Amino acid sequence: MKSRLCFYLLWLAHGVHSSKISPEHTQKSVGTALTHAARNPQWPVQHNETLECFQVTHPIETHLGLAVGDQVVRGPGEGGIRPSCTQQLVRHTFGNSYGQPFVGKFMPPACDFDKAFINVTITSQGHQFDRLATLWLGDIEVWRTSTAEPTPQPGIAWHFLKDMTPYDALWREPQTVIFDLGNLVNDLYTGLYDVTIDVTFFEAGVDHVQRRHRPADYILPLSAKRSKQGQASTFVFPGTSTAAVVKLPPKIGGAILTVAATGQAGEEFWWSNVPERAADSFPSSNAARLPAMGSMREVRIYIDGQVAGLAWPFPVVFTGGIAPPLHRPMVGLQAFDMKEYEMDITPWLGYLSDGGEHTISFEVFGVNDSHKANPVFAHVGSNWVLSGKIFAWLGNTELKPTQAPKVEISEIDWISEVDVLDSTAIDYRQSAGRQINVEGVVASIHDEAHTANWTQTFSMVNNGKMRNSAYWHHVNAHYTGTSVAYHGSTPRLASRFAYPISTTYEYKAPQGPNTLELEAYLEQGMDLRVTMDSPFATGMEAFLDKRRSSSGAALSATQIGHALFTQGPDGSHGSGSTSQRYQLSAIDQPTGDDIIGRPAATLYRRAVSVVNETITHDRQRIADSKRKVLTPARGHLHSTTVTKHSAEFAPFPLMRFGGTNVFHRGNGDAPASRIAGGLIDQPSESKWKALLHHANRLLWNW
């Protein structure tokens, strides 16, 4: 039976990201109209050369200079190219690979190093779902990614660089390397994923005093610990235990816990879910129950059964999500590199450093508001893929065992309203707020003591409309949060995020011989500020020669797109246009009550527009280390292979420094003052064209 619910179809179709979803489940999931439409191999634009996919992100520091994707955008400086050594971590083709990850060995490099990065190349051709993938060193997850959806021969490729210096302690020991990419291949789903991952080490002369936060001395796994069985160690919630036992060293000066959390299957589009009491809004339409439990998700971290911290996740839209033409060749925010969520557990150190074992576990909650007057947290359905780790820094003296810290956590501040307009239409509004404060005493055996605090505040507003029994669905959501750690009177790890997302999705009555017609609009943003006390690379590391006094980094990205999709007797066809602007800025030292600080100097920015899989505008600018101004990005490929298609992505001299990384087709317009605001309730084609026009005007001149 053809489902009437657009996001229900999306939910059903996307239950295949997780390597823990069985092939049997996948085969059952592909029977819906949207599934076939979104995955039909005939819809993409036909290319004579490999299509290069990419995620817009900032440069990282390499031995060749600053690099992003497969390009060096700023040379190595006065010291020239630095000596380096490279090892291949992964070389494998993933066919039928559920429960069959790549397993290899790593030995510490022979060269001296204080920096490390991975260089990833993945190719595919044919017809395939997008897939979730994870990279492990032993039982510790070090990278979470997803794949782009391939095209017919010659297919697609993408390159990604990631700073892996935060895992310095792991690189200095032999490791079991596991790359888990669950894939299914048959007569219909023909795409294999060919993966190569190299790791390069070099010495940059890193001044850890200037960085303020050296790499951790220990990294402890919070996972299922299955590396000895040749398996990835993710938890899948609900359904499996999410508990890990840890034992911390006695001399410890600070610790940060991080968690990776990704919704899959019925939880992939959690941010579009309706309030629980609206789940059965269209009983007369023969439609399935609407995905519900509200549109907020809370990942809860427990230490020995007591809540220690929270994470409200980022709404990742994968490369097959909503409508595939939105995501090729430029994928969505975080699709190739999913960020983890951090919490300072220094307030727990006196409790955890008693020489004994302690249990850390995770759960994921939504909100059940079936009874409006009494909304309650409730476990989500299937499923969430989770893992965590503890970054620990050694102190000078042993800690004195203390009691568990004091934890104050607010009740959920949940409000939801559902307006039933008629038997086929509803409006709904949801909002939520949450706070937690953890306070503990950290004392040495010499009676030197200080108070450590960890405070988090979260909020969410999500308004939606459904028409025509959910054939048409509009969502406008905004998620925000602030987290701050104090050690004594000194602020340490601090972050602030804002994640807006707005989409309108319509499943139209087919015209003529077509069996399916879809139209989708998506606008998504990511604003993230984080201090240099983060255990992860923030992007600032590549610019410390310019901004030594900065306290952190600010990322700002906005992506906006429109896609049309049809399926008929001659196959599937689609078109799409997407624009994105991305900016990395330094954060000045905080002043007054603003303990996180404000964005100051812009270090890197990029503006890209794509129409029907063709880049129509691409401009990068990067801070110049000497002149301290933004200059056009300059570069050459760091690999020895230069393909014709790569040259199209950066039409300037690739094998020497020079030129300007500005590429566009069409005519230019006068600059706009700003990008247009959020999507209107029912954007018409003409209004959407106007919105994209304003977006592109900004991108031309940004």
pLDDT in tens, 338-360: 999 999 999 999 999 999 999 99
Distances in Å between the alpha carbon of 54 and those of 49, 230, 331, 561, 586?
16, 30, 6, 16, 24
Q: How far apart are the first and last CA of the chain?
A: 48
Tens digit of each residue's pLDDT (9 = 90 or more) over 135-179: 999 999 999 999 999 999 999 999 999 999 999 999 999 999 999
pLDDT of residue 48 exceeding 90:
no
Report how many domains make up the chain: 1
Q: What percent of the chain has pLDDT over 70?
A: 79
pLDDT at 546: 61
In the prediction, which pLDDT does 208 show? 52
Tell me the three state secondary structure of residue 33: helix
- Residue ranges of alpha helices (H) inside 87-193 are 168-171
Quick one: average pLDDT of 519-525?
Answer: 98
- Which tops the pLDDT comparison, 501 or 569? 501
Q: Which amino acid is at 280?
A: D
- Write the DSSP assignment of 582-637 as a string of letters: EEEEEEPPPBTTBSS--EEEEEEEEEEEEETTEEEEEEEEEE-TTT-SEEE---EE
Task: Give yes or no for residue 664 having a pLDDT over 50.
Answer: no
Contacts of residue 5, Cβ cutoff 8 Å, sequence gap at least 6: 287, 288, 290, 469, 470
What residue has token string 């566009």? 664
More confident residue, 603 or 627: 603
Residue 633: per-residue pLDDT: 52
d(CA 203, CA 63): 8
SS (H, E, C) 260-311: EEEECHHHCCHHHCCCHHHCCCCHHHCCCCCCCCCCCCEEEEEECCEEEEEE
What's this model's pTM, rounded to 2 decimal places? 0.86
DSSP, collapsed to helix, strand or coil, labels residue 699 as helix
Tokens coding 615? 């880049």
pLDDT value of position 579: 98
The region of weakest confidence among 79-88, 215-224, 236-245, 670-679 is: 670-679
Q: Which residues pair with 483 in a beta bridge?
A: 456, 495
Phi, psi of 636 (to 5 degrees): -145, 160
Residue 287 confidence (pLDDT): 62
Does residue 678 carry a pLDDT above 50? no
Of the pLDDT bands very low, low, confident and very high (cuts 50, 70, 90), residue 512 is confident
Token pair recorded at residue 466: 């459904």
CB 177 within 8 A of CB 105: yes
Q: Compute the distance between CA of residue 413 and CA of residue 277 in angstroms, rounded to an integer.
A: 17
Choose the weakest-confidence range: 478-482, 538-542, 553-557.
538-542
| Mean pLDDT within 387-413 | 95
d(CA 388, CA 160): 23
Side chain identity at 310, as an amino acid letter? Answer: L
User: Which candidate, 597, 481, 592, places its Cα nearest to that of 540?
Assistant: 597
Contact 451, 466 (CB under 8 A): no
Number of H helices, E strands in the chain: 8, 36
Is pLDDT at 3 greater than 90 in this prediction? no
Distance of CA 554 to the CA centre of its chain: 16
Q: How far apart are CA 548 and CA 525, in angstroms?
A: 28
445: pLDDT strictly greater than 80: yes
pLDDT grade for 687, boundaries at 50, 70 and 90: very low
Question: Within a domain: residue 57?
Answer: yes
Span 217-253, pLDDT tens digits: 999 999 999 999 999 999 999 999 999 999 998 899 9
For 314-330, give one letter per residue: b (16+ CB within 10 A) or e.
Answer: bbbbbbbbbbbbbbbbb
Residue 206 has pLDDT above 80, yes or no: no
**Does residue 470 register a pLDDT over 90?**
yes
If one counts every other C-beta atom within 10 angstroms of the C-beta of residue 385, the result is: 25
Q: How far is CA 674 from CA 350, 502, 558, 617, 622, in A?
A: 50, 18, 12, 17, 21
Q: Give a yes or no: residue 1 inside a domain.
A: no
Amino acid letter, 190 = T
At 82, give phi and psi (nearest 5°).
-85, 145
| CA–CA distance, 631 with 146 (Å, rounded to integer) | 32
Per-residue pLDDT at 648 = 24
Encoding tokens for residue 12?
Answer: 């059903």
Whole-angstrom distance, CA of residue 462 vs CA of residue 334: 21
Is 183 a domain residue? yes
The pair phi, psi for residue 695, each rounded to 5°, is -60, -45
In sign, the C-alpha dihedral spanning 264, 142, 532, 337 is negative
Tell me if 101 is assigned to some domain. yes
**How far is the C-alpha of 277 from the C-alpha of 418, rounded, in Å?**
8
The residue among 85, 190, 181, 72 whose CA lies nearest residue 136 is 181
Averaged pLDDT, 442-450: 89
Over pLDDT 90: what percentage of the chain?
A: 67
Q: Find the domain containing 581 and state its range.
A: 6-701
Q: How confident is the model at residue 658 (pLDDT cuts 50, 70, 90)?
A: very low
For tokens 């019925």, name the residue: 266
pLDDT at position 595, please? 75
Question: How far, in Å, CA of 532 to CA of 490, rounded?
Answer: 14
Helix or strand holding residue 502 (H, E)? strand 490-508
Q: How far is CA 657 from CA 210, 428, 510, 649, in A?
A: 29, 54, 52, 16
Lowest-confidence region among 100-114, 131-145, 636-650: 636-650
677: pLDDT strictly greater than 50:
no
Average pLDDT, the chain: 83
Exposure on the CB side of residue 129, measured as CA atoms within 13 A: 30
576 phi and psi angles, rounded to 5 deg? -165, 155
The half-sphere exposure of 521 on its side-chain side, counting CA atoms within 13 A, is: 23
Q: In whole angstroms, what is the distance from residue 508 CA to residue 152 CA? A: 27
Is residue 224 assigned to a domain?
yes
Q: Given CA atoms 272, 26, 338, 69 in this order, what sign does their dihedral have?
A: negative
